[in-house]
Amino acid sequence: MKDFFNAIQDLFETVLLVPFDALRALEVENWFGANIMSWLFMSIGLVAFVYWMLQLKSFSDNDEEDKSISSHSYL
């Protein structure tokens, strides 16, 4: 069982996390380059936020939603 967990550790340390080790080493030389993954995720989030807001505005401009104020029937 110990060999199984050591194999998982070896897989992550030698294969899957090597790009992040390279980014960590790059931080000494170039901060912006080392944080490229953060910039990528922030830009994806910003694009998704703008798209969502534009969709909400287009649905709001259609005036199809019933915005009359009324309480629930069980109250």
Tell me the pLDDT of the chain (75 aa) as tens digits: 999 999 999 999 999 999 888 888 888 888 888 888 889 999 999 999 999 999 999 988 887 777 777 777 665
DSSP label at 71?
-
Give the model's pLDDT for residue 73: 67
Q: What is the pTM of this model?
A: 0.57
**Cα–Cα dist 6/71, whole Å:** 61
Domain ranges of the chain: 2-61
Task: Give the chain's radius of gyration (CA, Å).
Answer: 24
